[in-house]
């Protein structure tokens, strides 16, 4: 290599540190897990990222698809594995299937939050990120014993989006793997009262910055979907990071990881007297209390999905449905027999 070629390679290496382990001609593989509110638009976003003209269908549990792209002309196509968790928070334990010790170095998470349902927003975000983080930390604990260098590399990478001289360096707690938070259904959210929009926007800015995540608001609008796609393409295919920034609460937010700050976000949207009455052990807990004061969360029962997927016609299979009907009849007969036996039983009245 000439000196000029070596210089170009060094610049590219600094601009794309994630490419360090990918040699010329090699195929890189990345995995991305999409999770979030039920009916929040995850499938639509995935299809748009993969440029597929398909009508989105409800995700039943955990679904998989993939995409292939070439980073440069005449190079092998890289592969991105896309996983989608359905059911909102009801199937969160399934995240253990796609995230493993074998792919943890190349894994990322996209959390899609439905902006039109602020009363579900914090519970969905907290539940999904908590379980994911616990699972990733378990993997890292095992890696520290079997492959300490890889574990140290992943932990250091958590801080790559925040420079050491950033004023919030000691105030944040980065997510252990790359994270993008997408606020979907902006078209509905935009019709909310301006004060409600301000509280939701500020809260999501704080949460994203606290976790070292990127934040983008989107809808079915082509222009907004392109912005979300840019962040996802960076995670999935190593495309260049977008350098644009939008923090105006009257417009769709677009904030790449590391470009926000606590001073720009400001304090939680509550009066000083209210803040003084709230007992919180962490800044995250304080923001949660303030947010849920304005948007009381739905009860656990309300968040459960009451629709039985077995009754959904799109999943109909004659042989399976006949057998299921037979088993349902047997179950009902068993219940009747058990009930009759219970009534006939003699109990001692000591």
- pTM reported for the whole predicted model: 0.77
DSSP state of 164: T
Please answer whether residues 180 and 243 qualify as being in contact, where contact means their C-beta atoms are separated by less than 8 angstroms.
no
pLDDT of residue 17: 47
Predicted local distance difference test score (pLDDT) of residue 339 = 55
308 belongs to a structural domain: no
Give the DSSP letter of residue 216. E
Q: Is residue 305 part of a domain?
A: no
84 forms bridges with which residues in the sheet?
34, 63
CATH code of the domain containing 161: 3.40.50.300
- Choose between 255 and 341: higher pLDDT: 255
SS3 for 170-185, per residue? CCCCCCCCCEEEEEEC
Confidence band, pLDDT 50/70/90 cuts, at residue 347: very low
Is pLDDT larger for residue 54 or for residue 187?
187
Query: How does pLDDT run across 219-257, given as a tens digit for each residue?
Result: 988 888 888 888 898 888 888 777 789 999 889 999 999
Taking CA atoms, 126 is separated from 19, 36, 211, 285, in Å, by 31, 10, 12, 11
User: Could you give the dihedral angle defined by the CA atoms of residues 126, 160, 110 and 142, in that order, rounded to the nearest 10 degrees?
Assistant: -70
Q: What are phi and psi of 40, to 5 degrees?
A: -85, -10
Count of Cβ atoms closer than 10 Å to residue 339 Cβ: 10
Q: With respect to residue 327, please indicate whether it lies within any of the assigned structural domains.
A: no
pLDDT of 22 above 80: no
Of 91, 32, 90, the closest CA to residue 62 belongs to 91
Give the tokens for residue 121.
């927003």
What is the structure's pLDDT at 340?
Answer: 57
Residues 6+ apart with CB under 8 A from 258: 161, 162, 163, 166, 212
pLDDT tens digit sequence for 151-180: 999 988 888 877 777 889 888 999 999 999
pLDDT of residue 321: 79
Contact 254, 276 (CB under 8 A): no
The answer to whether position 83 is within a domain reads: yes
What rounded mean pLDDT belongs to the chain? 83
Query: Do 253 and 186 contact (CB within 8 A), yes or no?
Result: no
Q: Which residue, among 84, 130, 136, has the nearest Cα to 107 in the 3D structure?
A: 136
d(CA 45, CA 216): 12
End-to-end CA distance of the chain: 95
What CA–CA distance (Å, rounded) separates 304 from 302?
Answer: 6
- Between CA 227 and CA 237 the distance in angstroms is 15
Number of Cβ atoms within 10 Å of the Cβ of 212: 20
Dihedrals phi, psi of 146, to nearest 5 degrees: -95, -35
Q: Please tell me the predicted confidence (pLDDT) of residue 170.
A: 84
Structural domain count of the chain: 1
Whether residue 12 lies inside any domain: the answer is no
Tell me if 132 is assigned to some domain. yes
Does the pLDDT of residue 70 top 80, yes or no? no
Residue 297 is classified by DSSP as P
Q: What is the pLDDT of residue 349?
A: 44
User: Is residue 104 predicted with pLDDT exceeding 60?
Assistant: yes
CA dihedral sign of residues 197, 200, 203, 209 = negative
Residue 317 located in a structural domain: no
Report phi then psi at 112, rounded to 5: -100, 115
**Domain extent at residue 190:** 26-294
Q: Residue 181 in contact with residue 171, Cβ under 8 Å?
A: no
Burial profile 68-102: b = 16 or more Cβ within 10 angstroms, e = fewer:
eeebeeeeeebbbbbbbbbbbbebbebbeebbeee
Residue 330 resides in a domain: no
Higher pLDDT, 116 or 344: 116
- Per-residue model confidence (pLDDT) at position 264: 94
Q: At what angle do helices 42-49 and 222-237 cross, to 10 degrees?
A: 70
- pLDDT value for 185: 95
Q: What pLDDT, on the 0 to 100 scale, is given for residue 279?
A: 80
Q: What is the predicted pLDDT for the residue at 328?
A: 75
Give the model's pLDDT for residue 51.
81
| Residue whose token pair is 């792919």 | 103
Per-residue pLDDT for 303 more than 50? no
Q: Are 87 and 108 contacting, i.e. CB atoms less than 8 angstroms apart?
A: no
What's the whole-number mean pLDDT along residues 267-284? 83
């Amino acid at each position: 290599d000439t000196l000029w070629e070596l210089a170009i390679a060094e610049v590219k290496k600094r601009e794309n540190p994630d490419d360090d382990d990918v040699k010329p001609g090699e195929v890189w593989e990345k995995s991305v897990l999409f999770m979030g509110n039920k009916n929040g638009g995850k499938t639509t976003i995935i299809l748009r990222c993969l440029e597929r003209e398909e009508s989105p269908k409800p995700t039943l549990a955990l679904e998989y698809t993939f995409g292939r792209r070439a980073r440069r002309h005449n190079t092998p196509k890289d592969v991105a594995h896309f996983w989608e968790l359905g059911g909102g928070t009801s199937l969160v334990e399934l995240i253990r299937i796609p995230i493993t010790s074998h792919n943890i170095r190349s894994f990322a998470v996209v959390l899609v939050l439905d902006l039109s349902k602020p009363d579900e927003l914090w519970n969905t975000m907290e539940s999904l990120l908590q379980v994911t983080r616990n699972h990733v930390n378990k993997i890292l604990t095992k890696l520290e014993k079997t492959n300490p260098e890889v574990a140290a590399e992943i932990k250091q990478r958590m801080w790559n989006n925040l420079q050491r001289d950033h004023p919030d360096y000691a105030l944040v707690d980065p997510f252990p793997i790359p994270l993008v938070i997408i606020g979907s259904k902006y078209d509905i959210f935009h019709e909310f009262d301006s004060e409600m929009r301000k509280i939701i926007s500020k809260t999501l800015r704080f949460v994203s910055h606290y976790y070292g995540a990127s934040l983008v608001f989107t809808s079915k609008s082509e222009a907004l979907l392109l912005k979300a796609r840019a962040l996802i393409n960076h995670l999935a295919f190593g495309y260049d990071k977008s350098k644009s920034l939008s923090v105006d609460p009257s417009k769709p937010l677009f904030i790449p990881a590391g470009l926000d700050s606590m001073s720009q976000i400001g304090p939680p949207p509550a009066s000083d007297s209210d803040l003084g009455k709230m007992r919180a052990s962490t800044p995250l807990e304080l923001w949660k209390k303030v947010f849920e004061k304005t948007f009381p969360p739905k009860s656990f029962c309300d968040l459960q999905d009451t629709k039985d997927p077995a009754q959904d016609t799109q999943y109909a299979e004659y042989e399976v449905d006949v057998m299921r009907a037979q088993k349902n009849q047997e179950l009902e007969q068993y219940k009747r027999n058990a009930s009759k036996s219970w009534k006939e039983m003699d109990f001692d009245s000591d």
